[in-house]
Amino acid sequence: MDAAETLRALFTSGAASDPYPHYAKLLASGECYPLPAWSSAFAVGYAAIESVLRDPLFEVLGATGLDQSFPAWREHPSMSKNAVNDLNGSDHTRVRGLMSRAFSHRRVAGLEPAIAATTASLLEDMAVRGAAGEPVDFMRRFAYQLPVTVICDLIGIPVADRETFRPLATDLVVGLIGQRRPKEDALALADAATVRLNEYFTALADDRRRQPRDDLISVLVQIRDAGDGRLSDAEFLDNLNVLIVAGFVTTVNLLGNGLALLLADPATRTAVRHGDVSPAAFVEEVLRYEAPVQLGIRRAAADTEVGGIPVSAGSAVMLLIGAGNRDPRRFASPDRFDPRRPDAGSLSFGGGPHYCLGAALARLEATVAFSLLLDRFPAIAAAGEARRVPGPAFRGFEFLPVRIS
Ligand code: HEM
C-alpha cells in the first residue's frame, strides 16, 4: 500500500478502530504527503504539524474556506462563523482576548471544588447503579455528564434550566459531528438547535444585564453592550455555542480513553492510585497516546510548503494530530503507553494562536475525575465489549461498560 492508499484507507474504511498501524506506516517514510485528488496535503510528523499550527500563513477555514467548499453555508444557522475557532488575524486576536477571561488561571482553579463535587455525585450515582454487580456505562453515567455540568457552570446556565438546555446542546453536537446520520438530517438538526440556543442565550443575557453574576455570560454581555465594536451580537452567540461543542465532545473522549487505558493496565492503575504516577502525568500521557481530536485542518493563504511538499494558495492541509503524537522522531518508543516518559508532551490541544482555550480546564477535570474514581472504585473492571466513536476525526468511546464491585 502506498502513502496515498494508506491515507484513503484511514478516511474510508474501519481504520478508525485502530489507525495507529496506518500512522506508523506514514511516519516511517515522511513528514507530509500530497494527495492531489483531494487537493490537500497531509502533515503526519510532529514537526510538520507544529510548524503549520504556528505559521500565520496557514489559516483556519472560517468563512473564506466555506465559500470555497460549501457556498450555501450562510443559509445554515449552525454554520455561522463568528466564533474564535473560525476567525483569523486581528478578529481572532480580539475575540480570543475576550474569551480568555473565562479561562484565566484564577477562574479555572476556582472551578475545582465544583468539579470535585460533581465528580463525587456522579460516582455515587454509578455506585448505586452498579451495587449489585450490574454493568454501568461509564460514558453515559460519567464521561458525558461531568464536562457538560462544568461548561454549564462556567457559562452561567442556571441549574433549573439545564433540563431544557441539555437536549438542545446534544442536538447541536450530534447534528454537527454525529457520524451516524445522513448529512442533510444532521445539518437540519443542528440548525434547529442553534436557533433555539440563540433564543435561550439571548433571554439569559437579558437576565444577566439586569443582575450580573460571576460567570462568562455576564462578562460577555457587558462587553457586547459597551457597543464599542469589541464583540458583535453574532460573535456573542457563536462563541457560546462553540463552547458547548468544544466542552461536550473532547473532554468526554479524554475521560473515556483514560478509563479504557486504566482498565487494560492494572500496573498503571495501581501506580496512579498510590501516587507513584501523578494523575496529572497520567492524563498527559492519555492525551498523547489517544488524542481525543485526531485531525486538524488549515488553509494556505498563499503559495507555500510543508515538510518539503508544495502547497498552493487556497488548498487545505490536514493535520494528523494522532499521528504526530506517535512520531518516533519526537517520542522514544511512541507506541508504548508510559506516563513516566521524560519526553512527555503532545499536539492534542493544537498549538500556535488557536491553542485550545479549554486545555487547563480539561486537564483539571480529568485529573480530579481519575483520582476520585480510583479512590472510590479501586476494583473497577471492564464489563463486556466497548464501542468506539466512528470515523477518523475523534478518538473515544460511545459505550464503555464497567463493573465497579
Ligand atoms: C481533552 C479535551 C480537549 C481537547 C483534546 C481539545 C482540543 C482542541 C484542539 C486540538 C484545538 C485546536 C483546533 C485548531 O487549531 O484548529 C482546540 C481549540 C479550542 N478549544 Fe479545545 N479541546 C479540549 C477541551 C476544550 C474545552 C473543555 C473547551 C471549552 C470549555 C475548549 C475550547 C476550545 C476553544 C474555544 C478552541 C478554539 C481556540 C481558538 O481558535 O483560538 N476545548 N481544542
Q: Which atom of ligand 1 is nearest to the CA of 351?
A: 15
Q: How many CA atoms lie within 13 A of 267 on its CB side?
A: 4
Global confidence as pTM: 0.95
Which cell numbers in the block locate residue 278? 501523578
Alpha helices in 31-88 (DSSP H): 46-54, 62-69
Residues with C-beta less than 6 Å from any ligand 1 atom: 60, 84-85, 96, 151, 242-243, 246-247, 250-251, 254, 292-293, 296, 348-350, 354, 356-358, 361-362
pLDDT reported for residue 298: 96
What tens digit of pLDDT does each residue of 108-136 get?
999 999 999 999 999 999 999 999 999 99
Q: How many CA atoms lie within 13 A of 366 on its CB side?
A: 30
Give Cβ neighbours of residue 219 (< 8 Å, ≥ 6 apart): 98, 101, 102
Taking the centre of ligand 1 as the mean of its atom positions, its distance from the CA of residue 247, in whole angstroms, is 8
Give the gyration radius of the chain's Cα atoms.
Answer: 21
Res 178 pLDDT > 70: no
What tens digit of pLDDT does each residue of 50-107 get?
999 999 999 999 998 888 888 899 999 999 899 999 999 999 999 999 999 888 888 8
Mean pLDDT of the chain: 93
Q: CB of 143 within 8 A of CB of 258?
A: no
Q: What are phi and psi of 39, to 5 degrees?
A: 40, 50
User: What does DSSP say about strands 32-35 and 295-300: parallel, antiparallel, or unpaired?
Assistant: unpaired
Which cell numbers in the block locate residue 372? 476520585
pLDDT reported for residue 186: 87
